[in-house]
Each structure stands twice: as C-alpha cells, then as structure tokens.
Chains A and B, each alone.
Chain A
Amino acid sequence: KQEVTQIPAALSVPEGENLVLNCSFTDSAIYNLQWFRQDPGKGLTSLLLIQSSQREQTSGRLNASLDKSSGRSTLYIAASQPGDSATYLCAVETSGSRLTFGEGTQLTVNP
C-alpha cells in the first residue's frame, strides 16, 4: 500500500526566506506527483504536476523536483511572502487512477 509522508508538519519562517518542503512515498511505481495548496476551509489548488518521467517542474517562485527511484520530492519556494501561508499537500497517482495524499505541511510566513 502506498504511503506518503510530508516533513515538516509545520514551518514558520520570516518573509523573504527560501524554503524547502519534503515529500516521500513508499512505492516508486507512480504515474505522477502533484503538489497542492490549501487555504483554511477551502478546496485544493493545484500548484505543480510532475510526470514520472520528469525530474522537475517550475512555476514562478515554485520549483518541484522528483526522484522516483528514491521515493522523494521537494517543493522549493523562493523569496517567501505572507500570501504563501497555507497548507501544502503532496499526492502521488498510482495504478487505477488513485491519488494518495500526505498529511501536509502547514506553512506560516511572517511579515
């Protein structure tokens, strides 16, 4: 059974810092990995999707990497802003078109 772990569970940083969120998964037979953002009481917003054959994806200040063989992904946020405060979720898609989620990293960026 696929298991996804996100570290750290919570992170508080001053505005302007670069930061890294970590995601690991137990079964490397994935089709893709997706990073989402969730604001309190809201749905999930997709940030980046990395196909299993790709190593990284970039969107603005966000960069996500994937090392399928070691079962790891990182989400790098450059020059963090208070508006980046949210919970970040990592999810992997496996056979049968199923997503397995980590429990998320709650990020607080302080002005």
Chain B
Amino acid sequence: DGGITQSPKYLFRKEGQNVTLSCEQNLNHDAMYWYRQDPGQGLRLIYYSQIVNDFQKGDIAEGYSVSREKKESFPLTVTSAQKNPTAFYLCASSSRGTGYGYTFGSGTRLTVV
C-alpha cells in the first residue's frame, strides 16, 4: 500500500542534543513537508521541498534543518538551537503543482527530558 511512514513514533531528546526524525513516502510525490503541531495552535509549516536537492523554509524554520537527497525521503533534524522542541511532528507529501491533495504520516511525538 502507498503511504508515508514516520519513525520513530515517540522520541526523547536530552538538552543540547540533536535528533533526526525520519519520513519516507512511496507515493511517488514530488513535494514533501514538515509541520509542527502544538496544543491550541494548529499546524505550522517548518520546511518544505518541491523537488530533490531543493527545499525552502516555512514559517518556523529556526532550530531545524532538513535534506532531500532522494525523492522518497525528507528527514528533519531538530537541533540544540530549537529551544522548545517538545511537540507533535507531522510529515506530508503531495503531487507537484496545485490541485492535488496532501497525504500525511502518523506523526512523531518528541519530548525533551
């Protein structure tokens, strides 16, 4: 079945540590996205990529980094510069261009310990 796989489901980060969240899709979608979800604030866009080897900052990119070396993969690194990383992280993909819907993964819950 086609879809998006996020791993791990739960992740714990110590202060000052970098962690990487995985996102893999087998939908052959060109575009991929990372969103952060906090209670009462809806979803906010962190980074997005419309093609391999290219990506753009979203609304809250500070303290995060991404790469897009393969069409299927769009990992997100939460760096130590992100002061409040505890949140639910969602990855999504869509076919390139407008008029196509988005498919979301099942999310990774990151907690700072």
Main DSSP-derived SS at the B contact region: strand
Given A31-B98, A42-B107: A99 in contact with B45 (beta carbons within 8 A):
yes
Q: B49 to nearest A CB, angstroms?
A: 10
Q: B103 to nearest A CB, angstroms?
A: 7
B102 and A46 form a contact (CB under 8 A): yes
| Residues from 69 to 111 in A contacting B, C-beta threshold 8 Å | 89, 91, 93, 96-99, 101-104
Complex CA gap A43/B103 in Å reads 10
A43 and B105 form a contact (CB under 8 A): yes
Q: B9 to nearest A CB, angstroms?
A: 9
Q: How large is the interface on A (under 10, 10 to 19, 20 to 34, 35 or more residues)?
A: 20 to 34
Is A60's CB within 8 Å of the partner chain B?
A: no
Is B2's CB within 8 Å of the partner chain A?
A: no
B102 and A31 form a contact (CB under 8 A): no
A32 and B99 form a contact (CB under 8 A): yes
Given A32-B98, A32-B99, A51-B99: A101 in contact with B105 (beta carbons within 8 A):
no
- The number of chain B residues with a CB under 8 A from chain A is 28
Main DSSP-derived SS at the A contact region: strand
Complex CA gap A74/B109 in Å reads 30
A97 and B43 form a contact (CB under 8 A): no
Binding site for B on A (CB under 8 A): 31-32, 34, 36, 41-46, 49, 51, 89, 91, 93, 96-99, 101-104
